[in-house]
Chains A and B, each alone.
Chain A
Amino acid sequence: GDSVTQMEGPVTLSEEAFLTINCTYTATGYPSLFWYVQYPGEGLQLLLKATKADDKGSNKGFEATYRKETTSFHLEKGSVQVSDSAVYFCALTPGGTSYGKLTFGQGTILTVHP
């Protein structure tokens, strides 16, 4: 079945550091890929998405590129802020489904210190 694997956390960085959170996936066909973020006490929010190979999703300074050859969708940000502290989830939706069934990774906790 479909699966998503994220790098183990937690990740702790200083403000303005470079961030990478690795995500790889296993899926048949042509899935769409997502990054969701969960701030403390809140539900998940869509951060960015990519629907086909070589697409780059971007939002709020975060970027991720859909790499079909390496089945990866790594999240990057050039300069993190304290307000980026949250849990980040990589997810996929299989292609060709009649509804958006999401398969999530286990989440990566990010803590950014001033």
Chain B
Amino acid sequence: ETGVTQTPRHLVMGMTNKKSLKCEQHLGHNAMYWYKQSAKKPLELMFVYNFKEQTENNSVPSRFSPECPNSSHLFLHLHTLQPEDSALYLCASSQVSSGTLSSPYEQYFGPGTRLTVT
């Protein structure tokens, strides 16, 4: 399998459930990202993992908990979500340099998980 894969593609969960989204990249990249795409809003960056270390948390509520066990896998653990959390959750990966100055490497996106919170 190639590129960036995400599972499940669709998820319906109640507000008291706990679920996890999975992302896997087969590109040998060293950075991974979670984005939230809601209707009529720009894509929102949620989390960034750079060399498996979380380097950004964009004021995301604690009911979203990321995990990056290695450079190929990224999880988003969900618990006690709200209906307004219903959205398309996109994972992406890229190759970045280890220094503080780098060229901007393009991000490769997965197909997303369509989440509905009831």
Contacts and interface: CB of A to CB of B under 8 A. Distances in A.
Interface of A: 4, 32, 34, 36, 41-46, 49, 51, 89, 93, 95-107
Interface in B12-42: 31, 40-42
Interface residues of B, number: 32
Contact of A101 (B48, B100, B110): B48
Given A51-B103, A89-B43, A107-B42, A99 B31 contact: yes
Contacts of B110: 43
Contact of A44 (B56, B90, B94, B99): B90
B115 interface: no
A99 B103 contact: no
24 contacts: A32-B104, A34-B106, A36-B109, A41-B111, A43-B90, A43-B92, A43-B110, A43-B112, A46-B106, A46-B107, A51-B103, A89-B43, A95-B104, A97-B104, A98-B55, A98-B96, A98-B97, A98-B101, A98-B102, A99-B96, A100-B31, A100-B96, A102-B45, A107-B42
Interface string B74-118: 000000000000000010101011111111111111111000000
